[in-house]
């Protein structure tokens, strides 16, 4: 398969490196894909497809890292936003009535949601959750498990973060209740446990809760008067309209939602029990110039109504099952070399050190072949499925995956 023409991407990137630290930010940098093989700039998208600045069209399996739950340029959502801009405007000094509508919608669907507040990014929401928990309990320590954004208390690269902030944040391993219990026992001043209810660490396989894990976390938090926070930025409005808490029937005290709640518009939410959320009446503070803007709220209301009306989450689950069923027949052959994880929602392939196969090379070839076959996928981050992925798209993805495994692993 021939290498893609990526001249325009590369020229833009070289230019950007002179005026922007790293050219592009964080996870979008080429080293997170296959350098030299990956596009660096997209110019547009429609449905399940994206087009780069060299006019290569890809079947997109990354869905903008999660927000694109329906599809790119989805008429119903974008038109609602355009109408709102035309008829109402973008930015005001006061809150607009649509705000209450979205709060009521979240109350209807999310088990822990008695009150909500809206912010712009997932990092805003998780940080607001941590502040609420600290303010409510009067304690400082946080125990976390998963990626929660770029703010000081949770950023993975700790450059520029005061040691005093890091000292108050402890970690535990997903599905390991004993370590969590031991950490709580050793630290009497824990305000909150925050975790992603489905584990999706960068570069590692996706994991689901085992042996009643979430329920046991709930219990240990209750016993120790610790606020339990589910970070549902990825699982929210994807695995269920009520999030993973609904799917697994474990209700946290607070939860954060973002990404899929607005099909790409910039909004996230902190939701939770009234008693804790009420710290933001007086005891704690949150506000920002853009938090109350109506357009992202309209996008979210329209997206959630679209998800309900079209049974989108069931459709996505069926599509995920379609992928899973075919892979279940292919993957056993590659046991110990390459593993599929992510169930019906977050497809991901991880490669392992092995005696017979150069796994680093196999992995590189595997992801290179996807790109050369115009399937846009990440080497470090799981994929997603959207409503606009057709069964033809999925067959294309699966056929290329099967061929790709044979070619890159050698059998």
Interface residue list for ligand PLP (CB under 6 A) = 65, 121-123, 126, 146-149, 196, 231, 233-234, 258
Question: Nearer Cβ to ligand PLP, position 72 or 147?
Answer: 147
What tokens were used for 118? 């809206």
* C-beta closer to ligand PLP: residue 200 or 374: 200
Tell the smallest beta-carbon distance from residue 120 to ligand PLP (Å). Answer: 8
Nearer to ligand PLP by C-beta: 103 or 199?
A: 199
Read off φ and ψ for residue 116, nearest 5 degrees.
-145, 160
Q: Least CB distance from residue 124 to ligand PLP, whole Å? A: 7
Q: Residue 345 Cβ, how far from ligand PLP at the closest point, in Å?
A: 13
Q: Where are the alpha helices (DSSP H) in 58-198?
A: 75-87, 98-109, 122-137, 163-167, 177-186
Q: How many residues does the chain have?
A: 411
* Minimal distance, residue 259 CB to ligand PLP, in Å: 7
**Nearer of residues 233 and 304 to ligand PLP, judged by Cβ:** 233
Residue with Cβ nearer ligand PLP (172 or 359)? 172
Name the residue with the smallest CB distance to ligand PLP: 122
Residue 8's φ and ψ, nearest 5 degrees, are -65, -40
375 forms beta bridges with 59
CB 225 within 8 A of CB 200: no
**Residue 17 or 202 having the CB closest to ligand PLP:** 202
β 348-351/338-341 pair status: antiparallel
Q: At what angle do helices 312-330 and 294-309 cross, to 10 degrees?
A: 70
d(CA 239, CA 195): 16
From the CB of 122, what's the least distance to ligand PLP, in Å?
2
At closest approach, how far in Å is the CB of 93 from ligand PLP?
A: 25
Q: Would you say 69 and 387 are in contact if contact means Cβ atoms under 8 Å apart?
A: yes
């Amino acid at each position: 398969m021939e290498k893609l023409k990526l001249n325009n991407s590369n020229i833009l990137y070289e230019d950007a490196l002179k005026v922007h630290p790293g050219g592009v930010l964080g996870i979008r940098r080429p080293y997170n894909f296959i350098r030299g093989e990956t596009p660096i700039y997209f110019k547009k998208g429609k449905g399940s497809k994206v087009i780069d600045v060299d006019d290569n069209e890809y079947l997109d399996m990354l869905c903008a890292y999660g927000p694109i739950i329906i599809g790119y340029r989805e008429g119903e959502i974008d038109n609602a936003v355009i109408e709102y801009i035309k008829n109402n405007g973008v930015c005001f000094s006061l809150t607009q009535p649509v705000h209450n509508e979205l709060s009521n919608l979240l109350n209807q669907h999310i088990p822990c949601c008695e009150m909500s507040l809206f912010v712009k990014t997932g990092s805003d929401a998780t940080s607001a959750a941590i502040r609420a928990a600290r303010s409510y309990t009067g304690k400082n320590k946080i125990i976390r498990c998963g990626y929660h954004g770029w703010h000081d208390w949770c950023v993975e690269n700790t450059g520029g973060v005061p040691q005093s902030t890091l000292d108050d944040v402890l970690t535990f391993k997903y599905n390991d209740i004993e370590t969590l219990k031991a950490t709580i026992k050793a630290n009497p001043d824990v305000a909150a446990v925050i975790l992603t209810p489905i584990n999706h660490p960068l570069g590692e396989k996706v994991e689901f809760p085992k042996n009643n894990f979430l329920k046991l976390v709930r219990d240990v938090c209750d016993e120790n008067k610790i606020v339990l926070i589910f970070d549902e930025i990825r699982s929210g409005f994807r695995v269920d309209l009520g999030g993973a808490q609904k799917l697994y029937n474990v209700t946290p005290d607070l939860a954060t939602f973002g990404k899929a709640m607005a099909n790409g518009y910039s909004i996230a939410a902190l939701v939770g029990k009234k008693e804790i959320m009420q710290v933001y009446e007086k005891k704690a503070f949150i506000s920002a110039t853009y938090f109350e803007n109506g357009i992202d709220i309209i996008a979210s209301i329209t997206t959630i109504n679209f998800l309900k009306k079209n049974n989108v989450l069931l459709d996505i689950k069926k599509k995920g099952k379609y992928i899973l069923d075919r892979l279940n027949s292919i993957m056993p052959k590659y046991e110990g070399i390459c593993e599929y994880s992510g169930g019906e929602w977050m497809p991901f392939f991880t490669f392992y050190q092995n005696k017979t196969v150069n796994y680093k090379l196999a992995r590189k070839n595997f992801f290179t072949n996807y790109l050369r076959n115009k399937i846009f996928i990440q080497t470090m981050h799981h994929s997603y499925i959207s409503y606009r992925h057709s069964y033809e798209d999925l067959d294309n993805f699966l056929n290329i995956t099967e061929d790709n495994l044979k070619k890159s692993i050698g059998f």
